[in-house]
Structure 1
């Protein structure tokens, strides 16, 4: 037995059990248990709007019944292309009630990205914001399997219409689409028939980029969802005593799906949503709704601390605050505590781990490694074994640096339709994270670098090849190489080095605009450097590592 199997971190959990059972057979059972406990309690708050658990149950029943009436079958996929609005949660639960799978789509995705996700997932239904359908989806849907488009508005479920977020917005109707609220109303009051969801059935697909740069649909199962929701409730103290959970992270992201939606269903506790992240809107919502838990990227928290009008009182109601998605420096942790009076706890996970694989036990500040200066990302979550392995897959001694590999109930079943990638990255349901780090003798995990070339911009992962492929579409570009460079606000940002074709002309601004038009906001390069030649090996492979320091 290796040191990792002995789980030296168990002593850090105090009186909590080392192992515990998954409480529900699927996420839908988890949701229904919360409704049964108190149907009249608040499930969702959205500005001045409130949705009770009973109303959420009825609305999702109506949507599920309508889906089934329009040919949606068990195992079918429903794509959700929304911001942080109540309709996101309604659509997710409805997909489960219809026996289907929810496909999480980043609302910043443009035509190229949305088209790929819809085609790869085989989604037959799309739930979209009206504005996103108008600007993006209308050109994409005809070439996919989508046969029903339900559109909705960020203006629903509230009457305040905050000018900071909704200025100039109005309802839109588009040919070939059906209004979501009207669709639900047509079928409300006719619950769908009971559905049998197994623990290993897929609850939702969340897309991530892999070693080839092609987005892969991670198959997060119902067992994955229930287990990690329990980790948030029991070890992170989310939703304790019914305290409200604030949705800082985007709901399409695995952090939002589990650390906001799933745990709010399990606790159960109100989930407060505010459309999208705008610092002063979020601070006002903190003051109004007095949430007790949130999790988000440290970059988001830094933006809140630097927003005009911020005071320590904005965070006074919080009992538990966690950060994930982007590395926290010891300085950022200290600055947060000085500004808010609250400890921000560190956590680490990937899409393939259905949120956390390591967590800092609630109430315990993470240690700092004296050699690297890195802040620990926590200890392995319950029922989870994290190992540090060399390139040959052998366990390394505690303290030595290698690839972080995790196994446990939160590891996904694989990648949708990609058995080769599943076998390579998830051998035996153990995730090869691609991140490099080490574990100290007490079980604290430290990340010191990334094995892959992935760029982490404000918690969003960007694959360089995707940006390079878009640059290659510009008629003046001969070659390009994309790297991540440090950025005070975003952690990392995207920088491109480009060589042009002989006789061609293009400015840095031209190339940035070209990418900006074709990619999500966090992906396009913020700076471009024109070079005569890119550094290469003798075999012609571009040396990105030589560009990072320039």
Structure 2
């Protein structure tokens, strides 16, 4: 479905075309325009420090010149194994200026995962935190194909007066290793500019690896055209203006952080506020200090902010637009957040393969909740996006019927890096078969039911974990919930819930079972509930049901 199919949707984007024409061909041109528009404005704020757009331009020039001096060639890959630090943005833009492709690596990855990503991407440069080099990368690099290693500290750029203020923190001893300090590398080449480079919209801007919640990670080839389209789509859809300050709560290695934080800020020539990695109390302090206006994060981020010990309504008052994606949103949490601070969370939906959003709840609108399942709508397709609900036979289903969500549009990647079979399977004819199950109602709103592989078969009855989780979130003591199917001698599979509680709250498993039993069909409610300190999640906030199932099997 597209805007052309449902003209009534036009009212959600007053004055805007149904299809969006990008202002730029490639992400580097978008960055250069930001430098021209706002050279002395902050590009990145990091604790008490900042890097202006003019400085970011010079630093990324130096990064590119240094790579080229070491034999880097157009199309080669630079892996960035970093937290949310300014060096990530310097490396990203500098890689483009050298004609390369950036590879974002989860800083929580250990030896096995890092080795897999380096080998799969064929990265020839690794930029990483010194602590990650010392703890993980050092043992992986021999034989990996990486030629250049640049190490850095999370304390650089922390203050305006001294960009290398390490605060007395000891640094790993890297003596004897073939590594280069990033700050020295940049200083060596400062003042030099790389040769001009240009990209087509179809050229790959970065490889973003899927989270691996359902199998080994695959490198989605997010093109420059994908990136500029969805950066602009975020800005137009959310009504963002020239005075925005973007809060980076999502990890930058993830597609949400890359688009909704880094490249949206560059499209707007706005400041991006980073603070190493998300921690709720620190997040509240950062909100107070930098007064951001826009952010996008997993719903777990907003749950954590509400429950931070220093949380106050006034800390969040600067925010004007909040969106959430990457994990299911319980309607009760949206209501609780609004009651806490007066802001509505607007649901969005997308995947790594859609370069962040393919759907969104129009700003200023509250998405409907399906009366039967209790699911909050993920919105309607954004500009130029066509979405079909497809049955097991491959045929498109009518409104109200549940099937696989299949998406086409200018944000959909052309495929996976060096994986033609997986590309053909997931993207036949360029249409992304998401693996997510959902439906469209008669008014054009879309709802996600669950992942195909997460469905529970309890004695022949189909149970979707998300529906059970949404009911659990209605209990005042529940902070987080995850539901999986576990072996059962009688039913084949039965429903089990893993729950963490709000601070100071108390409830027994039996009470939670009784709570759900009163609110849903007999075959759906959990027969088992286990209380955990933390529900296991990916760093982006997605519940790791696979890990919980494996735990039960073992």
How far apart are residue 443 of structure 1 and its match? 1.3
Distance 1:12 1:386 in 2: 19
- After superposition, the Cα gap between the structure-2 partners of 1:147 and 1:529, relative to the gap in structure 1 and judged at 3 Å, is closer
User: SS state of the match for residue 193, structure 1?
Assistant: coil
How far apart are residue 302 of structure 1 and its match? 0.6
Distance 2:382 2:234 in 1: 10
User: SS state of the match for residue 142, structure 1?
Assistant: coil
- After superposition, the Cα gap between the structure-2 partners of 1:213 and 1:41, relative to the gap in structure 1 and judged at 3 Å, is same
Distance 1:44 1:424 in 2: 39
Partner of 1:509: none
Q: Deviations over 1:36-79 (max 9, x none)?
A: 01211110100000100000000000000000110110000000
How far apart are residue 453 of structure 1 and its match? 4.0
Partner of 1:186: 188
Q: Does 1:74 align with 2:111?
A: no
> Is the 8 Å Cα contact of residues 3 and 10 (structure 2) preserved in structure 1?
no
Q: Deviations over 1:86-116 (max 9, x none)?
A: 0000000001000000000000000000000
> Is the 8 Å Cα contact of residues 121 and 219 (structure 2) preserved in structure 1?
yes
Partner of 2:40: 40
Distance 2:3 2:393 in 1: 17
> Is the 8 Å Cα contact of residues 47 and 160 (structure 1) preserved in structure 2?
no
How far apart are residue 396 of structure 1 and its match? 0.5
- After superposition, the Cα gap between the structure-2 partners of 1:12 and 1:329, relative to the gap in structure 1 and judged at 3 Å, is farther
> Is the 8 Å Cα contact of residues 104 and 207 (structure 2) preserved in structure 1?
yes
Aligned residue runs from structure 1 range 451-490, under 5 A? 451-453=452-454, 486-488=498-500
How far apart are residue 351 of structure 1 and its match? 0.2
Distance 2:202 2:236 in 1: 22
> Aligned Cα RMSD in Å?
2.9
Partner of 1:141: 141
Distance 2:424 2:313 in 1: 48
Q: Deviations over 1:142-167 (max 9, x none)?
A: 12110100000001001499xxxx99
- After superposition, the Cα gap between the structure-2 partners of 1:201 and 1:184, relative to the gap in structure 1 and judged at 3 Å, is same
Q: Does 1:213 align with 2:212?
A: no
> Is the 8 Å Cα contact of residues 98 and 192 (structure 1) preserved in structure 2?
yes
How far apart are residue 485 of structure 1 and its match? 5.1
Partner of 1:10: 9
How far apart are residue 375 of structure 1 and its match? 0.4
How far apart are residue 452 of structure 1 and its match? 2.5
> Is the 8 Å Cα contact of residues 402 and 437 (structure 1) preserved in structure 2?
yes
TM-score (norm 1): 0.82
Q: Deviations over 1:163-190 (max 9, x none)?
A: xxx9984333412110001001111111
Q: Does 1:234 align with 2:236?
A: yes
- After superposition, the Cα gap between the structure-2 partners of 1:530 and 1:341, relative to the gap in structure 1 and judged at 3 Å, is closer
How far apart are residue 5 of structure 1 and its match? 7.0
Distance 1:255 1:209 in 2: 12
User: SS state of the match for residue 242, structure 1?
Assistant: coil
Q: Deviations over 1:257-285 (max 9, x none)?
A: 00000000001210000000111111001
Partner of 2:308: 307
Q: Deviations over 1:370-391 (max 9, x none)?
A: 1111100110010101110111
Distance 2:214 2:378 in 1: 27
TM-score (norm 2): 0.81
Q: Deviations over 1:498-526 (max 9, x none)?
A: xxxxxxxxxxxxxxxxx99xxx9986957
How far apart are residue 449 of structure 1 and its match? 1.8
- After superposition, the Cα gap between the structure-2 partners of 1:418 and 1:212, relative to the gap in structure 1 and judged at 3 Å, is farther
> Is the 8 Å Cα contact of residues 279 and 304 (structure 1) preserved in structure 2?
yes
> Is the 8 Å Cα contact of residues 211 and 452 (structure 1) preserved in structure 2?
no
Worse-matched range after superposition: 6-15 or 330-339: 6-15
Partner of 2:524: none
Distance 1:205 1:3 in 2: 28
- After superposition, the Cα gap between the structure-2 partners of 1:394 and 1:530, relative to the gap in structure 1 and judged at 3 Å, is closer
Distance 1:310 1:212 in 2: 35
Distance 1:187 1:167 in 2: 26
Aligned residue runs from structure 1 range 393-404, under 5 A? 393-404=394-405
> Is the 8 Å Cα contact of residues 8 and 442 (structure 1) preserved in structure 2?
no
Distance 1:340 1:299 in 2: 16
> Is the 8 Å Cα contact of residues 43 and 51 (structure 1) preserved in structure 2?
yes
Worse-matched range after superposition: 208-217 or 144-153: 208-217
Distance 1:153 1:31 in 2: 25
Distance 2:145 2:63 in 1: 20
Partner of 2:115: 115
Aligned residue runs from structure 1 range 369-380, under 5 A? 369-380=370-381
Distance 2:142 2:408 in 1: 40
Partner of 1:422: 423
Instruction: For structure 2, list consecutive stretches of 5 or more residues without a partner in the other structure.
Output: 456-464, 470-481, 485-492, 503-535
Distance 2:238 2:104 in 1: 24
Partner of 1:501: none
- After superposition, the Cα gap between the structure-2 partners of 1:3 and 1:181, relative to the gap in structure 1 and judged at 3 Å, is closer
Partner of 2:527: none
How far apart are residue 20 of structure 1 and its match? 1.9
Distance 1:283 1:133 in 2: 30
How far apart are residue 441 of structure 1 and its match? 1.8
> Is the 8 Å Cα contact of residues 9 and 380 (structure 1) preserved in structure 2?
no
